[in-house]
Structure formats: C-alpha cells, structure tokens
Structure 1
Amino acid sequence: MSPLDLTPQLQHWQQLLIGLLQQQDPDADGAHDLTHFHRVWAVARQILPHHPQADALVVLAACYLHDLVNLPKNHPDRAQASRQAAIKASQLLADAGFPADKLAAVVHAIEAHSFSANIPPQSDEARIVQDADRMDALGAIGLARMFYTSGRMGRQLAHPDNPSGDGRVLDDREYALDHIEVKLEKLPSMMQTEAGRAMAAERVARLHAFRQQFIEEWLAR
C-alpha cells in the first residue's frame, strides 16, 4: 500500500511545525534532531493508509512534536519527558491556531509514544505514532543511533571477550551491542499496528545480520 498522500492542509501544517521546531533551542542530540522527526512522519505515512479512520493531522503534529522535551536515557526524570513534551506541544499548537478539538488527541499521542513513560496508547493515532517512533530504533539508522547514543553515554562497543553474551548477563548500560538483544529485537512484538509489526520484523532481521557479522569481526584476532 502506498504512503498517505499529502493534502494541502497536511503540507501547510508540516511546514508550520518545522518552523516551530526551528524556533526552539537547538538540541545537541543527533539521534533526536529534525531528521528523526521527518523519518517518524515518513513511517507514519506508510501506516496511515491501513487505518483510514485515523486523523492524519493529529498524527502529523505528534510525529513532529513528540520530542520537544528530550531528556537523556539516564536522566532521573526521563519517564516524565513525554508528558512535559505534550504540555509544551499543546501550548505551541494552540498559539499557532491548531484545531482545538484535536489538541487532546495530539497530547495523548505524544504522552504515549515514550517507552519510558509506559502509557498504553488508547487511540489509533497514538498507536501509529508510537510504532513510527520505535521504528527509527531499528534497521540501519537504528544501529547508527544506537552506537551514537551509547558513545555519548560512555559505553563500550561490546564486551571485549564475549560480545555474543553467551553465559553472561547482558548489560546494555555497559555494552552497546547488548542493546540489540536486551531491547531492540523485542520491538516487533510490541508494535501496536499490524503494518508496524511487519515493517519492524524486516528491520530486526537486518539487526541480527549485522550483529552476527560484528561478532565475527570482533573475535577475529
């Protein structure tokens, strides 16, 4: 199924949302920059045709504004970041003239997108946004983001002698490669939409192939 066609209304709001983001304080986190929001929206556009009852404008707004408040993974208030982002997004959208009757739906989609917040999505829009955001943790770009984030947090690439984790407790707080098994390979089963699950399964297969090649090269001494 083809991605959702962009209506003039969606095109208008996409450009307006990009402008709103560019007016915010720049985020030094390259894993959550404007390109991330573009990719999340691109995935959402692929899922939306499978859910014609979903409000595409709500999904668009949540895709672009879900990380307005982005706290590091090891920050003590990490679980509150999506709620803070939702409040900030609601204020920005209201000031920009966003349809008032859609604000609550955007707020919920932003709150529920976060893995850390553990808020179950209650709407099709929230399910689509959550799947689209998590998709960016998978595949080739997901790998790049994984190592980028791990490097910023001072983690090692992999266990020096046992990168596969055989017979030891996996620890992605210490070794970046462990994150594939600890979290990423579980994401397909956690996707909220059927289309999301299919896309995630394809991307996880790429992670597994990379992991095997990485281990072989890591141990070739």
Structure 2
Amino acid sequence: MTDDLQHWQVRCQQLAAQEMDQDAAHDTSHLQRVWGNAQQLLQHYPQADALVVLAACYLHDVVNLPKSHPDRAQASRMAAERATALLLAQGFPAEKLEPVAHAIAAHSFSARITPATLEAQIVQDADRLDALGPVGLARMFHIGGQLGRTLAHATDPLATERTLDDQQFTLDHIAAKLLQLPPTMQTAAGRQEAERRAQWVADFRQAFVQQWNATPTAQAQG
C-alpha cells in the first residue's frame, strides 16, 4: 500500500469512528472487512482508483439509519453528503470527492442507485460480500434480534407453503435477499466470490432447518 493510501486509511478510520453510531452489524470491523473485500477486487481491476474506493469503503456508513426507519432509502445519499464534508475539511483531493460521494450513495441496496463507475461497482460489491458467509449470517441474526424478529417460522421454515416474510422471520432473509445477491454483483470477480459464499449460506440454511425441525440425521438413524 502506498504512503498516500496508508495516510488516508488512518484518517478515514478516525473519521468513521467519530461519526458512526455503531452497532455490531455496522461497526468499524464491518468497514475494515469491506475494505478488505475491495482490496481483493482491486487486484482484478488495477485501473480503478484505490483511494476513491478506500474512502468510500470507510465512510459509507457515516449515516446509517435502522432498517425499520422510514428514511432508510435515503441513508446512503445522506452518508455521501456527510462524507464529502468530512473529507473536504481534511484536505482530501478535490477531484476525487464526487467519485467518492457517488460510490457511497450507490452502495446501498435500498437506495437503488446504479453504480456508474468502476470504483462504485467495487464498493457496492465489497459491501454486499460482507452480507454473505459466516460473518454475514451473524450480522443477519443480530439485526433480526434488534428488530424483534422470530428466528424462523415454527412449522414451515423453508416457506414451501407460504410467502417469504423476512420482516417477521429472520431465516427468510436468506432466500428473500442473500441468495439473490450473486447475480446483482457488478464485477465478475465479485460475482465469483459471492457465488462461493452463497453456497455456504445455502448449506447453512439446510442444516439449520434440519435441526429446527428436529429431523434425525442419517448417522443417528443408523
């Protein structure tokens, strides 16, 4: 990592820690993982501006409204505005402020903003990757608990005879959203990693349901 990137990583980490109203699903560890995901993607796209990606990764949640908040869809736009002001005050390169703001605004699923730059595509993919895999599931159940959702439907956890409802049943979020993420990834490298992580999530869902329904395993039956 270049000296310039290291400098701004420290500054952006400090700004995020000062600004964020942290919870266990959206804390500085989440930001570090998103940047780690982005660094993996940047290896495939060296033409992308790493400084823009770094700043957007660390500041994308400086405004983070609860999922149940009526203005949730506006949170990423609000975060982009706040991040721009913070970076401007720190002397961040002026020509990179708008690309950072766009990447932050476009990262959110609920904002429905199409990422128009490679940097924004990488940031969106990097953030969505943190929703997949073991840590992603831990974050999912944490948020479900915060919102008072039931772990799973008592008798039909796979929603074979009902409509998925992840507003009421946390497990439903896997089929309703998480397993739908891989095709939405903006980069080929992001899609490949998302597919790998989604398979782990799908396997977990099956194992969860087997235990939820108290289904005897083959070994126990034997």
Q: TM-score, normalised by structure 1?
A: 0.95
Question: Alignment identity in percent?
Answer: 59
Mapped to 2, the partners of 1:171 and 1:119 lie a distance apart of 24
In the alignment, structure 2 segments of 5+ residues that lack a partner are 216-222
Picking from 195, 200, 208, the partner of 2:194 is 200
For the residue of structure 1 that corresponds to 2:96, the secondary structure is: helix
AA matched with 1:185 = L
Mapped to 1, the partners of 2:208 and 2:18 lie a distance apart of 40
Picking from 199, 217, 220, the partner of 2:211 is 217
Mapped to 1, the partners of 2:106 and 2:158 lie a distance apart of 33
Mapped to 1, the partners of 2:45 and 2:116 lie a distance apart of 14
Compute the RMSD of aligned alpha carbons: 0.9
Give the deviation of 1:58 after TM superposition: 0.1
Give the deviation of 1:114 after TM superposition: 0.5
- For residues 38-68 of structure 1, the C-alpha deviation after alignment (integer angstroms, 9 at most, x for no partner) is 0000000000121121100000000000011
Picking from 29, 35, 41, the partner of 1:47 is 41
Picking from 148, 152, 162, the partner of 2:146 is 152
Mapped to 2, the partners of 1:89 and 1:61 lie a distance apart of 9
AA matched with 1:16 = R
| Counterpart residue number, 2:15 | 20
AA matched with 1:65 = L
Give the deviation of 1:7 after TM superposition: 1.2
| Counterpart residue number, 2:2 | 7
TM superposition outliers: structure 1 runs of 4+ over 4 Å = none
Mapped to 2, the partners of 1:18 and 1:197 lie a distance apart of 27
- For residues 9-56 of structure 1, the C-alpha deviation after alignment (integer angstroms, 9 at most, x for no partner) is 1111101111112222x5242100000000000000000121121100
Mapped to 1, the partners of 2:18 and 2:171 lie a distance apart of 36
| Counterpart residue number, 2:166 | 172
Q: TM-score, normalised by structure 2?
A: 0.95
Give the deviation of 1:120 after TM superposition: 0.2
Mapped to 1, the partners of 2:22 and 2:109 lie a distance apart of 21
AA matched with 1:181 = A
Give the deviation of 1:188 after TM superposition: 0.3
Give the deviation of 1:164 after TM superposition: 1.2
- For residues 166-206 of structure 1, the C-alpha deviation after alignment (integer angstroms, 9 at most, x for no partner) is 11111000000000000000100000000000000010000
Mapped to 1, the partners of 2:43 and 2:164 lie a distance apart of 38
| Counterpart residue number, 2:85 | 91
Aligned length: 215
Picking from 108, 114, 122, the partner of 1:128 is 122
Mapped to 1, the partners of 2:196 and 2:65 lie a distance apart of 29
In the alignment, structure 1 segments of 5+ residues that lack a partner are 1-5
